Structures are given as C-alpha cells and as structure tokens.
C-alpha cells in the first residue's frame, strides 16, 4: 500500500520530468529533436487515453470484442494518411492553419460562424472527455492509495494534479503567439509519455502473463472455462459484426478529426516525410497495446471471479492484489501519462480554437486597437492561457457533477460520434469541389441534433433520472420508428446522424451555388499540389486596398521589424517594387496568413476586410480566373521549361562565342607570327638587292654571296608559305590520308636516304634499333616519310658535330612505337608541350634559332593526330627523345571518328 503523500510526491516528480523534457527540447532545439520522425509518431499516441489504458480492459472483460474497434479503426485508416494527411499538412502549412476548426471553416469561405460552430462542437465533445481523464486520475489515485474519493475539492488530490497540468499547458502551450508554430517542448514531452505508457503496460502484461499465470495459453485455457468466454470472443453473428464494423468506422473517423489528433498530426508536423514513419509506427504501437489487453482483462476476471470490482481498473487491481507496489505505481503512472497528455494537447488545441474562433472574432477583435504589438501579443496569449484554465475548470466541473457514475468507454465513444459529425465537411474539404458552406453547416447542425437527442440527453440526463417518465419519455418513444433492431445505441445514432449529415451536405451543396470565396478555397484545397509553390496566386480578390493600411494592421500584431521583414520577403518572392502602394490579391492573402496563426483565419479576414474595399465577383468569374490561373500555372511550367532551354542555348552560344574569340585571337597571333616569319627573309633579300643595285663597284665574290643569299632566302620564303598552307590543309582535313598496310622499316629508309649525306657531313653517329615483332602497319606512307624527315631534320639541327642520333622501332599490343633520340641541349621542361605549337621558336627567345619555317613540329603533331596517334618530347640522358605512338589499326580509329561525326 502506498500513502497519499508518497504517491503525490511520485506524481510531482513525474510532472517535473515532463517539465524538464519540455524545457530541454525547447531550449536545445537540436536536430535530434526536430528531425526525429519517431517523436512525431509517438506524439500521435496521445490518442491512447485513460479509455485505452483502463476502459478497454473493462470492455474486453465485460463486452468482449468491442474493445478492438478503437484500435482496428485507426490501424485500418492510418496508412491512408500518406495521401490524406500529406495534403492536409500542405494546405495547413500554406494557410497557416492552427486547428481543425480553422481547417474546415477556411475551406467553406473562411466563415466566422462556421468556425465558431465547429469550436462549439469540439468543446461539447471534448470537455466531457477531459473530465473523464480527470476522473480516471482521481479514481486510480484513490485506488492505489486505497483511500475513499473525497467529495471536497480541496482534499481531492486530482485537484492539485489538474492545476499542475493547467500550469504546464498554459506555459508551454502559449509560448508562441502564432498558434501554427511548432511546440517542440510539448511534443517531446507527449512523445515521452507515449513511450512510457506503452512501456508500463508491457511490464504489466508480462507480469500478468508470466508471473501471475503460466504464459498466454494458460490464461486462455483457464478463461475458456467461463460460460460467456465464447460469446465474448466472437462477433456473435452478422448483427454483432455490423455493430463492430460501425465502431471501427467511428474510431477511424475520430483519429483523423479529433482536435488533439489534428493538432499532433497536422499542426505539429515538421516534415511531410515524418508521416511516412508514422503510418507504420503508430499502427504498430496500437497493435502492441491491443495484444496486452486480452490477457489483462481475462486474467483479471480469473483473479477477481465472484468479487465485485470494476473491471476497468483491473490493471491496477491485479498488481495490487499481488502486493507489487512497484508495478502498481508504474501502471498508475502509465494511466496518468495517458490522461495528462490528452488533457494537455486537448486543452491547448481547444484554447486555440476558443480564442481564435470564438473569443477574438466575437468580441475581442476590437480590443486589439492598440498600436503596441507587445500589448496585443500579450492579450492574445492571455486569452489562450485563460482559455486553457477555463477549459480545464469546465472539465473538472463536468467530472465532479456529471460523469462520476458513467463508464470511461461510453463517454469516449459518445465524444467520438459527436466529433464524427465534422467528417462530411472535413473529408469533403479535401476531395469535393462542390461542397458548400450551406450544405456543410446544415448537415453538421442536423447531425449534431440527432447526436444530442439520441446520445447526450439519454447519457447524461437519464443517468440521473433512471426511471424518468412523462412527456420526454413519450417523445422519445415516437422516435422508436427509427430504431434499427440489430444495432446497439451508439452505432445506431452514428448511422442516422452521419446519414442525415452527409445527405444534407450533398443535396444542399449540389442544389445551391456556393459563394465565390468558398469555391476559391475549394480549388486551393482540392488542388493543393498544384498551388503549393505559389498559393498566394491562387487566391482571388478584387477591390481597392493600400499596402500602408494593411501594413498598419500587421504592425499591430507582428511589430514593426517582423512586418518589414515579411514585406521584404513578399516583395522578393513576387518581384514587386517596394514602393508599390496598392495591394493585390497576393498581398491580401499573404497578410491574412501572417495574422491567421495569431488570431485565426476568420479574424484575420475580418481585420483585413476592415481596411480594404472588396468588389463583388461572380462565381462564374472566379471559376474563369481559377481556370486561367491553372492554365497560367501550366503555362508557367512550360515557360520555365522554355526558359531553361533558352538558358542552355544561350550558354551554348556563349561557349561558342568564347571559343570563337579564342580562335580569333589564335588566328591573330598566328598571322602576326606569319608576318614576322616572312619579314625576316624579305629583309635579307631586300638588303642584298639594295646593295647590289646601288653599289656598282662591289667585289665579284661578295656580289655572288649576296645573290646566293637572295636565292636561299627566297627558298626559305616559299618553304614557309608552303608549310603554312600545308598545315592549314591538315588542320581542316583537306588532305586525304592514304592509309594502307606498309612496311615501317622501308618507310623509315625512304625518309632517311635524302638527308643521309647531311648527317654524315656533321659526322653524327646514326644508329637504328629494331625491336619489331611485325613490320606491317596501317599508315599513310607519304605523311610518315614527312614526319621522319621533320623529326630527323630537327635532330640534325640541334645535334652537335660527332653527336648521336638513334631511332628505335618497337610495337606493343599492336601499337607502333617510334623513338628518335638525339644528343644535344635539353628543352626546358615547361616548354616540352609547347614545342609542337606553331612558331614556337620565334616566340621563345632562349634557344638558338636554326633555320626553318617554325612549323615542322606542328605539322608532325597534325600528321600523328590525323592517324589517331600521339607524339611527345622528353629530355633523356644527354639529349632529347621524341616518341611517336600509332594505334594498331588506323582504320578502326577512322571509323570511330566518322561515327562520332555523323552523330553530331
């Protein structure tokens, strides 16, 4: 047994832990917290309340399989979130939606009245549900401490716990005035609680299965001795199955629309991809929960057979029965977690709805006249704080005076059925363009009326007047006509209310024309994927508005700095001049969004409307504009594609132009070099000619020398000109290559013969090394002779008398390798590549200039390249080696080149 004081201390420590986690998460904001999809997925388990923790066990023990739909419904529908919730998250993000009321009412024309009705529906459904949690806390507290429930508020421990929760919620729930902001602290604390409650129920489950009993089959075997075991664990025929299915539908609907689920799944969603994790993780979580309900429920029945105990509290009673205080307290803490996470999230989201959809738009909007942003912000958060306290006090009162006697299960289900009345409008918002405000509102009100008379009155009124008779009873009897014999009460009301609700919604929507604003948002909601990038463009508004007026309003809520910053971003995004005075539709929507998180979408609209003058637009016009904007968007896409293409083209052009400029410069350089090369022999010729012409008494010997000079320099001139033209032809591929099989040794000899005497003149030692495995190779023989003569001629020029020239012929993998070495001065390392450039010598001052056109090596390189080979020069030992490599089959190379050409 545990004393009240000790347990209360444990509770305090537990709450302190939550505060700490929330505090750390808010403070650190580390990536681990923010980007963790499991925190998001775990926070969704706020769904599992005291009802799950205690109520389901009671249902399993007394009504059999009916405990399952609460889990099966969500498990079935959650995978569809990948589609549904992804869209809702997008819609909510671009519209700064902060609650389910905002979400639905914005779609139906941003209607203030609709959002107020939805808020009231949520309050009606959820406040008793919160009361239920308080009840569970109180009852289990007294159960654990084995004390009687105190009627006095001041001595009821639940009172203090509730006050602490209210403080926690109001502190961490209102940290940001923008309600669409993510509350990392709260989410993290809820995720922790979700983990703990599952962990504790697993401990209890294992305790029951393996400690109290001898495994799962032991419980099953013993429990199956009960007379009602079979009945409780089957559907009991088609009738039971239909009831069961409808219960699944109720919970499946609730998991999507329940304000606390909308809050955790949509408003607190940081990244769309987290939904991907949630759709398997959350069903798995629920599945683990359900697995342990059966053994605990039936184990409880076996243990307490014949005793009068509430089966809803088996989970605490079992460990208590076995005097295991630790597990008792853990289970209590798990239940406490379920309760307080529900209370916290529900009170926060309801307070947002209460403040943004009811209090501010219906009364307090005028209060925000103050120019002082800080004052206004404080007012908003104070309204929310006040709302949270008011909600929790309402729930507390409910717990104290209405639901003490009712079961967890029934209140929970009624709450689900009431919330399910939002389903037609909710799902219609995402899937149906024609859905109208009138239809949604009428359907909702009719559905609510049915719920009210069918469920709420009997539940709360009858529970206090069990035997009531008279007019009201008679009135109810007249409705017996609608009774469906095989459905139990809750599925029956669910069926009728939703039938009427959906029917009215559909009929009225198709038979009346919606307002243009509704239709505008209908398009935005249904086609969110198209508008996600520039949703402000999809908003249709026509009229007169001035930026300065709107700016004034923004400043009242955002402050001067943030307003300026927001405007800068807007102007940048849409490329608008900051001096623009009139506001367009995009700016109106942008401003409404900025305000929406703080005061709700409806109030934001009202405030903006106050300073703008909107012209009426007919529905037809709206549809036209939307059609246009859709076309614009696709046109835009096409234009983007085209502009990308243009960009690529212009890049290509620029590259081509750069290439041309480079080529042009190369050509200029080349011409410069050519002119220079030509001027030198011309100078010599001219000077000799001048002397011969002017000087009559020139000695015969000298005269001859000058005349010879004229002849050799003329030859040089024509050599240069020939080489230039030849190289040009080579470069432009105008010289056809006659590639055929030739004997390389013979070709070499043919090249060598004409210059052999020059080599002998300089007493140069010439040698050949033949390492060839084969002699026949594919090449153009005439070009190869030219190549040999150029390289050998070059070697001859640079080799000193009595030097050495050595030619080495080899082949490797069909490649022909020619190495020609000569002794002589090394080429500077940095010039080894450049010597193959045209007129390299004349540009380089540092080597002695032998006679020649300056184009020899450039021609060699061209000849080798044309046959797919390479040429390079290296300094080796006492001289320089030129290495020429020709590919095995030049024909193959040529084919490859031609194919490449034909491709481009």
Q: Which CB atom, from 320 or from 673, has the smaller least distance to other proteins?
A: 673
Q: Which CB atom, from 219 or from 688, has the smaller least distance to other proteins?
A: 688
Residue 709 lies near other proteins (rule: CB under 8 A) = yes
Which residues in 409-438 contact other proteins (CB under 8 A)?
Answer: none
Q: Which CB atom, from 572 or from 702, has the smaller least distance to other proteins?
A: 702
Cα 800 to Cα 144: distance, rounded to the nearest angstrom? 112
DSSP secondary structure letter of residue 546: B
Which residues in 429-488 contact other proteins (CB under 8 A)?
Answer: none
Site string for other proteins, 838-857 (x = CB under 8 A): ----x--xxxxx--------
Strand partners for 804: 765
Least Å from the CB of residue 643 to other proteins: 43
Cα 123 to Cα 418: distance, rounded to the nearest angstrom? 10
Q: Which CB atom, from 575 or from 845, has the smaller least distance to other proteins?
A: 845
Least Å from the CB of residue 842 to other proteins: 6
548-549-552 Cα angle (round to 5): 85
* CA-closest candidate to residue 124, choices 335, 366, 416, 340: 416
Least Å from the CB of residue 835 to other proteins: 15
Q: Which CB atom, from 39 or from 674, has the smaller least distance to other proteins?
A: 674
Least Å from the CB of residue 764 to other proteins: 22
- Burial (0-12, 13-18, 19+ Cβ within 10 Å), 751: buried
Site string for other proteins, 712-741 (x = CB under 8 A): xx----------------------------
Q: Which CB atom, from 150 or from 714, has the smaller least distance to other proteins?
A: 714
Per CB under 8 A, the list member of 136, 143, 688, 890 interacting with other proteins is 688
Under 8 Å between Cβ of 259 and 100: yes
106-112-116 Cα angle (round to 5): 100
Q: Which CB atom, from 30 or from 712, has the smaller least distance to other proteins?
A: 712
Q: Which CB atom, from 35 or from 708, has the smaller least distance to other proteins?
A: 708
Residue 700 lies near other proteins (rule: CB under 8 A) = no
Residue 683 lies near other proteins (rule: CB under 8 A) = yes
DSSP codes, 316-377: HHHHHHTT-HHHHHHHHHHHHHHHHHHHHHHHHHHHHHIIIIIIIIIIIGGGGG-S-HHHHH
Sole window of 187-195, 266-274, 380-388, 668-676 interacting with other proteins (rule: CB under 8 A) = 668-676
Q: Residue 739: which H helix or E strand, with range?
A: strand 739-743
Under 8 Å between Cβ of 412 and 346: no
Site string for other proteins, 111-140 (x = CB under 8 A): ------------------------------
- The distance of Cα 282 from the centroid of its chain, to the nearest Å, equals 20
Q: Which CB atom, from 148 or from 675, has the smaller least distance to other proteins?
A: 675
Sole window of 277-285, 433-441, 656-664, 700-708 interacting with other proteins (rule: CB under 8 A) = 700-708
Q: Which CB atom, from 579 or from 845, has the smaller least distance to other proteins?
A: 845
* CA-closest candidate to residue 188, choices 351, 38, 85: 38
Sole window of 192-200, 414-422, 705-713, 788-796 interacting with other proteins (rule: CB under 8 A) = 705-713
Least Å from the CB of residue 677 to other proteins: 8
Pairing status of strand 765-771 against strand 804-812: parallel
DSSP secondary structure letter of residue 455: I
Which residues in 143-202 contact other proteins (CB under 8 A)?
Answer: none
Sole window of 107-115, 232-240, 482-490, 684-692 interacting with other proteins (rule: CB under 8 A) = 684-692
Per CB under 8 A, the list member of 159, 687, 815, 889 interacting with other proteins is 687
Q: Which CB atom, from 3 or from 712, has the smaller least distance to other proteins?
A: 712
Least Å from the CB of residue 679 to other proteins: 4
Cα 261 to Cα 282: distance, rounded to the nearest angstrom? 12
Cα 670 to Cα 724: distance, rounded to the nearest angstrom? 10
Least Å from the CB of residue 823 to other proteins: 20
Q: What value does the CA radius of gyration of the chain take, rounded to a whole number of Å?
A: 46
Which residues in 814-843 contact other proteins (CB under 8 A)?
Answer: 842
Least Å from the CB of residue 833 to other proteins: 21
Q: Which CB atom, from 825 or from 872, has the smaller least distance to other proteins?
A: 825
Per CB under 8 A, the list member of 684, 787, 796, 871 interacting with other proteins is 684
Size of the site for other proteins (CB under 8 A): 28
Residue 675 lies near other proteins (rule: CB under 8 A) = yes
Q: Three-state SS across 147-214?
A: CCCCCCHHHCHHHHHHHHHHHHHHHHHCCCCCCCCCCHHHHHHHHHHHHHHHHHHHHHHHHHHHHHCC
Cα 43 to Cα 22: distance, rounded to the nearest angstrom? 13
Under 8 Å between Cβ of 887 and 811: no
DSSP codes, 456-523: IIIIIIITT-TT--SHHHHHHHHGGGG--TTS-HHHHHHHHHHHHHHHHHHHHHHHSPPPHHHHHHHH
Under 8 Å between Cβ of 331 and 208: no
Residue 682 lies near other proteins (rule: CB under 8 A) = yes
Q: Which CB atom, from 660 or from 711, has the smaller least distance to other proteins?
A: 711
Under 8 Å between Cβ of 727 and 858: yes
Residue 694 lies near other proteins (rule: CB under 8 A) = yes
Q: Which CB atom, from 698 or from 896, has the smaller least distance to other proteins?
A: 698
Per CB under 8 A, the list member of 644, 690, 746, 768 interacting with other proteins is 690
Q: Which CB atom, from 305 or from 664, has the smaller least distance to other proteins?
A: 664
DSSP secondary structure letter of residue 828: P
Residue 672 lies near other proteins (rule: CB under 8 A) = yes
Per CB under 8 A, the list member of 290, 680, 743, 885 interacting with other proteins is 680
Residue 228 lies near other proteins (rule: CB under 8 A) = no
Least Å from the CB of residue 703 to other proteins: 10
Least Å from the CB of residue 663 to other proteins: 20
Cα 422 to Cα 429: distance, rounded to the nearest angstrom? 11
First and final C-alpha spacing in the chain: 89
Least Å from the CB of residue 836 to other proteins: 20
- Burial (0-12, 13-18, 19+ Cβ within 10 Å), 721: middle
Least Å from the CB of residue 768 to other proteins: 32
Sole window of 364-372, 576-584, 658-666, 703-711 interacting with other proteins (rule: CB under 8 A) = 703-711
Per CB under 8 A, the list member of 637, 686, 738, 812 interacting with other proteins is 686
Per CB under 8 A, the list member of 27, 573, 679, 738 interacting with other proteins is 679
Least Å from the CB of residue 853 to other proteins: 14
Could you tell me which residues come within 8 angstroms of residue 878 by beta carbon, excluding any fewer than 6 positions away?
823, 824
Least Å from the CB of residue 702 to other proteins: 7
DSSP codes, 62-123: HTGGGGTHHHHHHHHHGGGHHHHHHHHHHHHHHHT--SHHHHHHHHTTS-HHHHHHHHHHHH
Helix (H, G, I), strand (E, B) or coil at 35: coil
Least Å from the CB of residue 674 to other proteins: 11
The binding site for other proteins (CB under 8 A) comprises 672, 675-676, 679-680, 682-688, 690-691, 694-695, 702, 705-706, 709, 712-713, 842, 845-849
């Amino acid at each position: 047994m545990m004393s009240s004081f000790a347990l209360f201390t444990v509770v305090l420590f537990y709450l302190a832990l939550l505060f700490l986690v929330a505090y750390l998460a808010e403070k650190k904001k580390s990536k681990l917290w923010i980007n963790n999809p499991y925190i998001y997925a775990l926070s969704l388990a706020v769904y599992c309340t005291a009802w799950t923790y205690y109520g389901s066990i009671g249902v399993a023990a007394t009504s059999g399989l009916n405990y399952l739909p609460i889990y099966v419904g969500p498990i079935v529908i959650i995978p569809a979130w990948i589609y549904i919730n992804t869209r809702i998250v997008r819609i909510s993000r671009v519209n700064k939606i902060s609650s389910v009321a905002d979400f639905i009412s914005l779609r139906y024309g941003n209607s203030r009245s609709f959002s107020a009705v939805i808020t009231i529906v949520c309050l009606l459904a959820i406040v008793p549900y919160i009361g239920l949690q308080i009840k569970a806390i109180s009852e289990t507290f007294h159960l654990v401490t084995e004390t009687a429930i105190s009627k006095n508020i001041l001595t009821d421990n639940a009172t203090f716990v509730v006050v602490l929760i209210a403080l926690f919620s109001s502190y961490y729930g209102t940290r940001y005035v923008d309600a669409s902001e993510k509350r990392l602290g709260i989410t993290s604390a809820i995720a922790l609680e979700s983990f703990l409650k599952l962990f504790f129920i697993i401990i209890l489950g294992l305790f029951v299965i393996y400690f109290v009993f001898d495994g799962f089959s032991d419980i099953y075997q013993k429990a199956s001795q009960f007379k009602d075991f079979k009945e409780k664990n089957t559907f009991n025929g088609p009738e039971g199955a239909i009831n069961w299915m409808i219960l699944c539908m109720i919970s499946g609907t609730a998991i999507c629309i329940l304000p606390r689920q909308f809050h955790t799944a949509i408003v607190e969603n940081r990244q769309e991809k987290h939904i991907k994790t949630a759709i398997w993780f959350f069903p798995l979580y629920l599945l683990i929960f359900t697995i342990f309900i059966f053994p605990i429920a039936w184990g409880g029945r076996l243990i307490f057979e014949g005793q009068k105990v509430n089966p809803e509290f088996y989970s605490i009673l079992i460990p208590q029965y076995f005097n295991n205080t630790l597990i008792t307290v853990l289970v209590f803490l798990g239940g406490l977690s379920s309760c307080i996470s529900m209370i916290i999230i529900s009170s926060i989201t309801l307070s947002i709805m209460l403040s943004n959809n009811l209090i501010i738009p219906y009364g307090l909007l005028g209060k925000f006249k103050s120019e002082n942003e800080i004052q206004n912000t404080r007012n908003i958060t104070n309204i929310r704080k006040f709302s949270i306290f008011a909600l929790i006090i309402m729930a507390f009162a409910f717990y104290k005076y209405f639901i003490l006697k009712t079961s967890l299960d029934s209140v929970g289900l009624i709450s689900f059925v009431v919330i399910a009345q939002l389903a037609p409008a909710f799902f219609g918002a995402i899937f149906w363009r024609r859905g109208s405000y009138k239809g949604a509102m009428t359907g909702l009100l009719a559905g609510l009326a049915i719920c009210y008379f069918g469920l709420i009155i009997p539940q709360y009124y009858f529970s206090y007047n069990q035997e009531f008779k008279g007019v009201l009873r008679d009135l109810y009897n007249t409705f017996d006509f609608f009774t469906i014999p095989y459905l139990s009460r809750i599925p029956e009301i669910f069926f009728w209310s939703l039938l009427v609700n959906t029917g009215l919604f559909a009929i009225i929507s198709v038979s009346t024309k919606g307002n243009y604003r509704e239709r505008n948002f209908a398009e935005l909601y249904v086609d969110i994927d198209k508008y996600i990038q520039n949703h402000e463009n999809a908003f249709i508004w026509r009229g007169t508005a001035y930026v300065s007026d709107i700016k004034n309003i923004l400043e009242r809520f955002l402050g001067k700095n943030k307003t300026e910053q927001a405007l800068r971003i807007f102007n940048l995004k849409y490329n608008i001049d900051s001096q623009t005075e009139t506001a367009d539709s995009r700016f109106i929507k942008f401003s409404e969004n900025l305000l929406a998180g703080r005061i709700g979408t409806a109030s934001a609209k009202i405030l903006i409307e106050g300073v703008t003058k909107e012209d009426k637009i007919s529905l037809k016009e709206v549809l036209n504009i939307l059609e246009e904007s859709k076309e614009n968007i696709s046109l835009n896409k096409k234009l983007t594609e085209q502009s990308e293409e243009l960009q690529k083209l212009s890049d290509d052009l620029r590259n081509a132009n750069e290439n041309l400029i480079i080529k042009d410069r190369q050509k200029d350089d080349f011409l410069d070099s050519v002119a220079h090369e030509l001027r030198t022999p011309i100078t010599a010729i001219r000077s000799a000619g001048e002397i011969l012409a002017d000087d009559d008494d020139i000695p015969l010997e000298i005269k001859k020398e000058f005349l010879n000079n004229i002849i050799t320099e003329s030859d040089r001139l024509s050599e240069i000109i020939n080489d230039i033209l030849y190289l040009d032809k080579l470069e432009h591929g105008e010289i056809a290559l006659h590639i055929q099989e030739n004997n390389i040794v013979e070709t070499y000899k043919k090249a060598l013969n004409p210059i052999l005497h020059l080599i002998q003149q300089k007493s140069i030692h010439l040698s050949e090394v033949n390492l060839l495995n084969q002699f026949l190779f594919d090449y153009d023989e005439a070009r190869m002779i030219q190549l040999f003569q150029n390289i050998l001629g070059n070697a001859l020029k640079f080799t000193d008398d009595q030097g050495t020239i050595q030619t080495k012929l080899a082949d490797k993998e069909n490649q022909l390798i020619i190495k020609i070495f000569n002794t002589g001065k090394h080429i500077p390392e940095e010039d080894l590549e450049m010597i193959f450039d045209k007129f390299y010598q004349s540009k380089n001052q540092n080597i002695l200039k032998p006679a020649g056109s300056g184009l020899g090596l450039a021609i060699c390189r061209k000849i080798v390249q044309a046959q797919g080979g390479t040429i390079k020069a290296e300094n080796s030992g006492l001289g320089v080696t030129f290495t020429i490599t020709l590919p095995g089959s030049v024909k193959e190379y040529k084919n490859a080149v031609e194919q490449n050409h034909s491709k481009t």
